[in-house]
Amino acid sequence: MKSDTPPFLSAIGNEETAQLPAARFPGEIVVVDDVRAIRAACAELAAEPVIGFDTETRPSFRPGVHNRVALLQLSTPRRCFLFRLCAVPLAREILRILENKRILKIGAAVSGDLAALHELRHFREGGFVDLQSIVGEWGIEEKSLRKMSAIVLGCRVSKAQRLSNWEAAKLTEQQQMYAATDAWSCIRIYERLQRVPKPKKAIIHDKSQSLSAKR
């Protein structure tokens, strides 16, 4: 079913976004920093049809210095697993999740996250959905997770912990909540979009792009 009226705003300002209630992951956060916990975590994730996906890397404030990815977040609606890749390997069990085409992994700007993971180990990813690539079908022009969440969910995803030390000996509660909320919000945005009809204008735009590509 298509609608003439755009279901969402196309864009939103920083001030309006800042006034929205903060998004907070309501489930259990599980920090995986021991190889013995990887198998059980992945077994639970493998049973889910849709999971949220994100990564975090310790920021570098020196030109030319690049740090490896330190954290992989994989979230179900009820539980978010934080794999500390600075402490545990990108194990085969985790790769099976990332390669499984039947498990949808929802993220934002996933190409950068995947490139960072490929620096640790080669794998053939499958089943990834990048919110940045699909929100335009609903007339949304914003691409940041913060703005997409504001438009689609009416809540604000905090970025206060983004530049914190993700390789610290122990993650703070604030870091854990930030990381879990990012991955979980991707699921919520995706599921909300799937319940809302796409506006006709977006469909027409997609067709015109397709015709141009054929030429």
Q: Residue 177: is its pLDDT beyond 50?
A: yes
Q: Which domains does the chain have, with CATH numbers?
A: 14-214 (3.30.420.10)
Give yes or no for residue 40 having a pLDDT over 50: yes
Distances (CA, A) of 204 to 1, 10, 207: 14, 16, 5
Q: What is the C-alpha to C-alpha distance for residues 156 and 142, in angstroms, rounded to an integer?
A: 14
CA dihedral 165→144→192→206, nearest 10 degrees, is -140
Separation between Cα atoms, residue 129 and residue 126, nearest integer Å: 9
Looking at 173-177, 181-185, 194-198, 204-208, which range is the least confident one? 204-208
Across all residues in the chain, what is the average pLDDT? 91
What was the pLDDT predicted at 9? 96
pLDDT confidence tier of residue 214, bands split at 50, 70 and 90: very low
Please determine, for residue 147, whether its predicted confidence score (pLDDT) is greater than 90: yes
Identify the band that residue 160 occupies on the pLDDT scale cut at 50, 70 and 90. confident
Q: What span, in angstroms and rounded, lies between the C-alpha atoms of 128 and 61?
A: 30
Q: What's residue 109's pLDDT?
A: 95
What tens digit of pLDDT does each residue of 101-139 get? 999 999 999 999 999 999 999 999 999 999 999 999 999
Tell me the C-alpha distance between 27 and 4, whole Å: 37
Q: How far apart, in whole angstroms, are the C-alpha atoms of residue 46 and residue 169?
A: 28
Number of CB atoms found within 10 A of residue 207's CB: 10
Mean pLDDT in residue range 61-65: 74
Is the pLDDT assigned to residue 162 strictly greater than 90? no
pLDDT value of position 65 = 75
What is the per-residue pLDDT for 163?
Answer: 77
pLDDT at 4: 65
Q: What is the mean pLDDT of residues 67-84?
A: 97
Q: What are the distances in angstroms from CA 64 to CA 59, 60, 61, 67, 111?
A: 12, 9, 9, 10, 21
Query: Can you give the chain as a three-state secondary structure string?
Result: CCECCCCCCCCCCHHHHHCCCECCCCCEEEEECCHHHHHHHHHHHHCCCEEEEEEEECCCCCCCCCCCEEEEEEECCCEEEEEECCCCCCCHHHHHHHHCCCCEEEECCHHHHHHHHHCCCCCCCCCEEEHHHHHHHHCCCCCCHHHHHHHHHCCECCCCCCCCCCCCCCCCHHHHHHHHHHHHHHHHHHHHHHCCCCEHHHHHHHHHHHHHHHC
* pLDDT tier for residue 66 given thresholds of 50, 70 and 90: confident
pLDDT at 60: 75
Predicted confidence at residue 1, as pLDDT, reads: 52
Is residue 75 within 8 A of residue 180, CB to CB? The reply is yes
Q: For residue 201, what pLDDT is reported?
A: 63
Whether residue 204 is predicted with pLDDT greater than 50 in this model: the reply is no
For residue 73, pLDDT over 90 is answered with: yes
pLDDT of residue 63: 79
Residue type, 64: G
